[in-house]
Amino acid sequence: MALLEFRGLRKAYGRAIALDGLDLDVEAGVFTVLCGPPRSGKSVLMRILVGLERPDAGRLSIDGIDITHVPPGRRRLSYVPQSFALYPHMSVRDNIAYPMRLQGAAAREIHRQVDRAAQILNITHLLQKRPDQLSGGEKQRTAVARGLVKDADVFVLDDPLVGLDFKLRERLMDDLRAMQAELHATFFYATADSLEALTMADRLAVVEAGRILQHDETEAVYDRPQHEKAMQIVGFPRCNFLDGTADGRGRCETPAFAFASEAEADGALPQGDIRIGIRPEAITVTDAPAADHLSGIGRVRLVEDLGAETVVYFEIGSETLVTCHPVGTPMPLGYDDAIPIAIDPQHVAVFDRGTGRRVGRGVGNGHA
Amino acid sequence: MSDGWRQHLYHALLWLVALFFFSPVAWIILSSFKTADDILAVPPKLFFEPTLENYVALFERNAFLQQLTNSIVLSVCAVLIAVTVSFLAAFCFSRFKPRGTDFLMFLLLSIRMLPATAVILPVFLMYVAFGWKNEPIGIVLFYAMFSIPFSVWILKGFIDGVSPRFDETALVNGASYWHVIFRVILPQVRPGLIAAFIFNLIFVWNEAVFNFIIGGIDTHNIPVALWTGAYADGGVDWAFIATMTSVYLIPPVIFIYFFQKYLLVGMTFGTVRGEV
């Protein structure tokens, strides 16, 4: 049984629907990331979980016990909010110790735990300072430390790294990941950043417009997105989408390519209006494509050199696609240069354009 | 160099204006050390032989010490009650936002828009009916009632400035609302509390009309004593006025000297809080 269960949660603010009958199970001892665009309902779900908001309908339980109406203080949850909310009138040490003080822990135990958390987050030298003397990253680490000292069933982190600079974010991601592994704790983490999600998550739940689109192992979500939006939300650079049609006998056409498709395990062959998704890294630049690969000649429109990889926007058959490569891939890189590209059909996902659901994937280039 | 010259001129001007506004106070304080004849001498005597006679006479008056005590007790009690009640009310307005909060806040303040003379008769009749006339508790409650609206305004502004995220962090960690109000919010709005305290203190400290009408011998404070004692022996008793006023000035002057930065905070409804 899952540790956390959300069932049919609904929440609306006036006419704006934040949660639209959301169901989700979060397993114990697992780092679960809730990933979705801004205003998709992540924060509302987190706030309902910790008890700061009441759902309009639905219920939630921890360990099988319904907590829908349990006051926030009795939920045995630890919460790191999006804003740091460090108390300006307390030192960093007192801020971190705060949840334990409220729980009535012994002074010596508090001291020990605070030192440990401070050491993990590398803020031992800041313990005597006041929050207004800290930089953004230091405040963030203090807030995380405060969230971690508490003896809790679930650690709830609501986008705690938003707004930090890249290097610091990367370090804190590693720290959080290591900490979760060390404590065997249950982490429930919300973010809008797919890089954060992919880096840290054991399991990934993709949320959009107040519903869970897909919840699975992180690799599964990335490799086999079950919904067009899930593919769009998780991944960087942005995924390529092409509109096309399918004839219901396996053949799909888009302005750029035509290809052969197969159905998902339990469904029919794609038919009617479809949208196909291709991740940038699935597009390779090669003069000698494999026999069954989709291939074509693109025209370079824009090149972004990111250091470790190069992102190329090119035009093919009236569509603009994006591809990325490790630096060193030989290719012409000037505006309007012709590049030969190839795509493994296995990496072409086919979605129904009406529902957004996945209905199939590519199997060949249709020439065979 | 010209900048330094301008600056000096500017400072000299500031001193001049400040001294001009201070001159009545200076006249009062100087007069308290003069004999009755010297006070009214024409031309005014700037150099005179100081005397403590007036002070001796003042402290020998039967009612003086009780009136001074009344002033202190009435203002401190009334303001403490007002600030406590206002703080809790402001918390509720700020956090729970009852329907029509803005209108309620306006209604609350409207009591301060009434001239005292418009309400003094009904209040007097009410106090007589309740048997509260000449009761210190009655006066304290009246002053508290009169001080609450403005305090709620000041404090709501301050509490609005404290992010509700602070409350939430406390609540999630198992704190009660009591804890949120007094351990989380209060330390962060201390300048506002002190500002509200000072503002109300100044009002109650100088209030005479209501004290005179709804109070009595047991509740009269210094302003009432000044008012009733100013005319004596067929003339204005300037020595008495000057001496009593000089003594009466001391507590607020000391108090405001130490807390003047909060006065600025209160006047600007917390918008310069960062500088305190």
Tokens at B239, concatenated: 């020595």
The pLDDT of residue B276: 40
Q: Tell me, which fold does domain A4-230 have in CATH?
A: Rossmann fold (3.40.50)
How many Å lie between the alpha carbon of A139 and the closest alpha carbon of chain B?
A: 14
Tokens at A333, concatenated: 């890189």
Cis amide linkage into residue A237, ω under 30° from 0: yes
- Choose among A196, A222, A235, A246: nearest CA to A359: A246
Q: Which residues pair with A17 in a beta bridge?
A: A12
Tokens at A359, concatenated: 């209905």
Give the total number of structural domains in chain B. 1
The predicted-structure confidence for A238-263, as pLDDT tens digits, reads as follows 889 999 898 888 888 888 888 888 88
CA A294 to each of CA A10, A190, A329, B64, B199: distance values in angstroms, whole numbers, following the listed order: 44, 37, 19, 104, 79
**B30 within some domain:** no
Instruction: Give SS3 for A20.
Output: strand
Dist. CA A147–CA B273, nearest whole Å: 29
Average pLDDT score over residue span B123-147? 93
Q: Do B169 and A85 touch (CB under 8 A)?
A: yes
Higher pLDDT, B106 or A168: B106
> Which residues neighbour A326 within 8 Å (Cβ) at sequence distance 6 or greater?
A308, A309, A310
Average pLDDT score over residue span A268-278? 88
DSSP string, B3-48: HHHHHHHHHHHHHHHHHHHHHHHHHHHHHTTS-HHHHT-SSPPSS-
**B261 within some domain:** yes
Is the pLDDT at A367 greater than 70? The verdict is no
Mutate to test the interface with B, among A102, A110, A144 (most CBs of B within 10 A): A102
Average pLDDT score over residue span A69-86? 88
Domain span(s) for CATH 2.40.50.140 in chain A: 237-364
The pLDDT of residue B36: 83
pLDDT tier at B13, thresholds 50, 70, 90: very high
- Give CA A90 to chain center in angstroms: 34
Locate tokens 């201070």: which residue? B22
- Sequence length of chain A is 368
**B93 within some domain:** yes
| Nearest residue on chain B to A77, alpha-carbon basis | B172
Count Cβ–Cβ pairs < 8 Å, chain A vs chain B. Answer: 54
ipTM comes to 0.77
Average pLDDT score over residue span A259-283? 87
Any long-range contacts for A267-271 (C-beta under 8 Å, 24+ apart)? A267/A359, A267/A360, A268/A359, A269/A360, A270/A246, A270/A350, A270/A352, A270/A359, A270/A360, A271/A246, A271/A247
Whether chain B has a CB inside 8 Å of the CB on A70: the answer is: no
Is the pLDDT at B255 greater than 60? The verdict is yes
Closest Cβ–Cβ partner in B163, B179, B187 for A85: B163
Is the pLDDT at A362 greater than 50? The verdict is yes
**B16 within some domain:** no
pLDDT tier at B185, thresholds 50, 70, 90: very high
pLDDT tier at B274, thresholds 50, 70, 90: very low
The predicted-structure confidence for A184-233, as pLDDT tens digits, reads as follows 889 999 999 988 999 999 999 999 999 999 999 999 999 999 999 999 99
Residue B184 gets which letter from DSSP?
I
The pLDDT of residue B127: 94
CA A221 to each of CA A45, A197, A215, A229, B131: distance values in angstroms, whole numbers, following the listed order: 21, 11, 7, 11, 78
Judging contacts by C-beta atoms under 8 Å, the chain B residues touching residue A51 are 171-172
Average pLDDT score over residue span B221-250? 90
- Looking at every residue in chain B, the average pLDDT score rounds to 89
Whether chain B has a CB inside 8 Å of the CB on A102: the answer is: yes
Q: Which residues pair with A77 in a beta bridge?
A: A154
The pLDDT of residue A191: 94
Dist. CA A30–CA A217, nearest whole Å: 11
Whether chain A has a CB inside 8 Å of the CB on B184: the answer is: yes
Closest Cβ–Cβ partner in B168, B174, B184 for A52: B168
Q: Which residues pair with A258 in a beta bridge?
A: A253
Average pLDDT score over residue span A344-368? 85
Closest Cβ–Cβ partner in A77, A88, A89 for B172: A77
Whether chain B has a CB inside 8 Å of the CB on A150: the answer is: yes
Residue A124 gets which letter from DSSP?
G
- Give CA B108 to chain center in angstroms: 19
Range A237-364: architecture per CATH = Beta Barrel (2.40)
Q: Do B169 and A81 touch (CB under 8 A)?
A: yes
Q: Do B174 and A52 touch (CB under 8 A)?
A: no
Judging contacts by C-beta atoms under 8 Å, the chain A residues touching residue B168 are 52, 72, 79, 81, 85
What CATH number is given to the structural domain containing B137? 1.10.3720.10
Closest Cβ–Cβ partner in B171, B179, B187 for A52: B171
Q: Which domain holds residue B135?
A: 61-275
The predicted-structure confidence for A287-302, as pLDDT tens digits, reads as follows 888 888 888 888 888 8
pLDDT tier at B275, thresholds 50, 70, 90: very low
**B263 within some domain:** yes
Average pLDDT score over residue span A12-23? 92
Judging contacts by C-beta atoms under 8 Å, the chain A residues touching residue B175 are 73, 102
